[in-house]
Structure 1
């Protein structure tokens, strides 16, 4: 059994202790997120929370974020439309509120810091005021609660997209979690599986024009596209937001991963531990995402052993149209249902390389552990423990150094449908994420890749996703898209092995071609060819017989 590792990440040159709070005129604020080991005892958790709030505040944190469902299973009323309207500070009214609200309110007030927690909320519709109650019964919700510096409860958000959680009810109305601070930043916030859906993850940013999002989570990581920090960083990049992600830590079930991310600049600080861990992470966050100055901790990559961290495999991998890569140079196109992917790959393997690699394209519907289904479009390369498709998205039981390959060249040119705004939701119908995964179960640093996007005729986007660091080993690298119009449909069945085509009909070469100048006619012609191919495939889908 591992001992709990209690860390404190403090960089005095960045966030040295003082009583200075961030103000609306400052160009940044100080945030803290907690990676918190799951414990069952509510009193232990409350005492730990109070201590961690103080530790973060001692580093001048303006806001502290805790993970999903790490306080315990206690049922806590959060009467935001009733008692909290008249008595918003539980610390000053301990007789009318649950101990959880009272103690966290007290800690927020004593440390003059905003605090976001997640808990199991109970609402008794036989005895409640100001709430929507479709039935006269007791409801349980997965809920975020926000406290301001005075200890007042200022916002409550109920999870909309439950991941199983069969004893709980999804939010009865799709209300978004939004609150404004005294340092001039308005935050949106949502919970775990919500990240995969248009409402709230896309809507909350685009409808409210927000730049700062809080994410409480108990994520169950899945290779090769949806490990925790991988998708956290990808969301911050794609939505161009500051993203404060606080993750529950329980490596035995695959829960781990937290960080603070700033738009396209990537991780200001992040961690993906392979052992039981509690950790406070603090960073100064620019109010304009991506405009990072100074030195930041960045990814904390000091845990080389992730063998005990359980990772699932994407169940849609057998449904990908894929091709097994070979050592050396290859240049080819794969396509499926309107998605066209060109791969330029120079795969470098050594005598120590254990993994095989596939290039894949997918345009269909996947299941999320049979809890829900969702549309996906992607172009990617991913590691496999063997040559067969059913070995992909998996690791060997024990990590061995240099067991993954490197790439002297890796570029993916993806032709994908342009996202369109759903006016009733004020949110895009598709979102595309640049994903990648290293053996540390962390994504590439922002300076290790380049992504260029061009829109053709307002209907097709051309993505050029290129690896810049040729010395890094990879489990995956690709563009992962969520297509919300296909949510709820039957998952795409696996490709029957006898029908699987391992050869590619177009642009197959085994020798490197001269690299075109980015604005040259060669690049423009290639873009047009890919666009025409994609449009042709789309038209073939929608033209009546």
Structure 2
């Protein structure tokens, strides 16, 4: 038996360590994200040498280095860079291979900057590690991992190795503290494999508990929802290469809504590429955006730096739990059938009803979802046509996932057949709005988008009975007000929807 004095000594040592950690812990921290205009290979169809691949990656890391140093100069504790930010995205399985490195499990306790030869050549990991170490900042980056496999593994690709779209995190000492393999690959990512099981990657710091995933992962339950709700992380790190898809899925719109709906801080670093309509990065808190960037004018990169609460769940302003169908289920008025028509938003067939009056109450139903709107326009501009829309069904293009969506949106023109098409400008402001729906899911993300694809921090709130309402009149003309619901239980199995 261990003497009780030894046990007491151990116990007090543990208490000392914990209280030291507590004293060292920060109530807030400075976050940074960098939107990067990636330098791309001229020909990704033709195999290149490892030396040429490294030259391209070094050119991108030269740009990232300037941003990381500037973030550190501004006091940032952590900086997030975009998905595909080191080499781009248009590759075949063969042509991306020279860009990949073997990335070990972080449990190996490795600082590549101090010990670059410990594993196979890892020039990218070494450089990222040194950037973190030399600037005393956590660095989050996206790169490619390769892992050998053999024929005894039935999933092993014909070329004998797995290739993963991978996020890495190096701490302020340059140590590899996290490695995440993307689970929900976008349909164009033929160059990568997804891991057999979703990975739930977290790490602890003196300024909070972090989780990490990539781009299309945000649309699915695993690992995104699990990290936020089961693991209760404080902050999500999100490298992305997000193509803006208005009216419901532009980057700043959806990522800020997800942070709010899941009650987490969210650091989103997007790529900047005008031909693919990629822009939109942000630092988001559960009660709204702290800062964000959306720019279709220039090709330049952009650094965002802002303070966040380390543990948002502990803050007094933390949003209460929401019953997303409580209010809408109590409403008696239903739509009149003579006023509705169909329209398409991003390949989904919505039911619409036009807001013909400058103020009033409207409702529209599709399947089990009824959407209810009360509104008053400040002054209805004659060229601005608004509709209330509902969609309850499986989205099947570029991924399969089940949606329930209530949306008030501006049509592209006065022709009703344009309702649901992308539009970036509006002229009509609203004195008030209240939108709710009879959702079958608890996962609903509230999106408010103003003219010019701008967010509305502080101008709306979500009530615990499932209404999103205006706090004041809208300060800018409205593009859309949306409750974007995800019914994960109705999704098809992962292998059927995500396998390139």
TM exceeds 0.5?
A: yes
SS of the residue 1:32 aligns to: strand
Corresponding residue of 1:12? none
1:316 deviates by: 4.3
Q: Give the structure 1 partner of residue 201 of structure 2.
A: 177
Aligned to 1:448: 459
- 1:220 aligned to 2:243? yes
Aligned equivalents of 1:467, 1:212: Cα separation in 2: 27
Asked whether 1:411 is paired with 2:434, we answer yes
CA–CA distance in 1 between the matches of 2:474 and 2:193? 47
Distance in 2, matches of 1:187 and 1:87, equals 18
- Measure, in 1, the Cα distance between the counterparts of 2:108 and 2:264: 34
Alpha-carbon distance in structure 1 between the residues aligned to 2:468 and 2:282: 26
Does structure 1 residue 29 correspond to structure 2 residue 29?
Answer: yes
Q: Secondary structure in 1 aligned to 2:395? A: strand
Q: Assess if the C-alpha contact under 8 Å between 1:225 and 1:436 holds in 2.
A: no
8 Å Cα contact 1:372-1:488 kept in structure 2: no
Matches of 1:49 and 1:86 in 2, distance apart? Answer: 26
| Contact 1:75-1:122 within 8 A present in 2 as well | no
5 Å matches for 1:73-222?
A: 75-81=99-105, 86=108, 88-95=110-117, 96-125=120-149, 134-135=155-156, 137-164=160-187, 165-181=189-205, 183-222=206-245
CA RMSD of aligned residues (A): 2.7
Matching residue within 77, 82, 91 for 1:67: 82
Runs of 5+ in structure 2 lacking a partner? 1-21, 41-55, 89-97, 318-343, 494-500
Q: Is the 8 A contact 1:76 1:100 kept in 2?
A: no
Task: Tell me the CA shift for residue 330 of structure 1.
Answer: 2.5
Residue of structure 2 equivalent to 1:361: 390
Q: Deviations over 1:1-28 (max 9, x none)?
A: xxxxxxxxxxxxxxxxxxxxx9743211
Report matched runs for 1:228-307 at 5 Å.
228-264=251-287, 266-274=288-296, 275-289=298-312, 291=315
Question: Counterparts of 2:145 and 2:451 in 1: how far apart (Å)?
Answer: 38
**Structure 1 match to 2:330:** none
Structure 2 Cα separation of the partners of residues 385 and 86 of structure 1 = 54
Partner residue in 1 for 2:480: 476
Shift of 1:33: 0.7
Give how far 1:171 is off.
Answer: 2.1
Query: Of 448, 456, 461, which residue of structure 2 is paired with 1:436?
Result: 448
Structure 1 match to 2:359: 329
Tell me the TM-score normalised to structure 2 length. Answer: 0.77
Gaps of 5+ in 1: 1-21, 294-312, 420-430, 455-461, 490-545
**Per-residue CA shift, 1:151-200, capped at 9, x if unaligned?**
1111100111011101211123211121112x141100100000011111
Corresponding residue number in structure 1 for 2:345: 314
Q: Which is further off, 283-292 or 49-58?
A: 283-292
Q: Which residue is equivalent to 2:71?
A: 56
Q: What is the count of residue pairs matched by the alignment?
A: 416
TM-superposed CA distance for 1:92, in Å, is: 2.0
Please state how far the C-alpha of 1:225 moved relative to its aligned partner. 1.5
TM-score (normalizing by structure 1): 0.71
Q: Are 1:125 and 1:133, in contact at CA under 8 Å, matched by a contact in 2?
A: no
* Aligned partner (choices 487, 492, 495) of residue 488 of structure 1: 492
Deviations 1:232-266 (A, max 9, x none): 111111111111111111122111111111111x1
Displacement of 1:206: 1.3
Matched with 2:46 is: none
Alignment of 1:501-540 (within 5 A): none
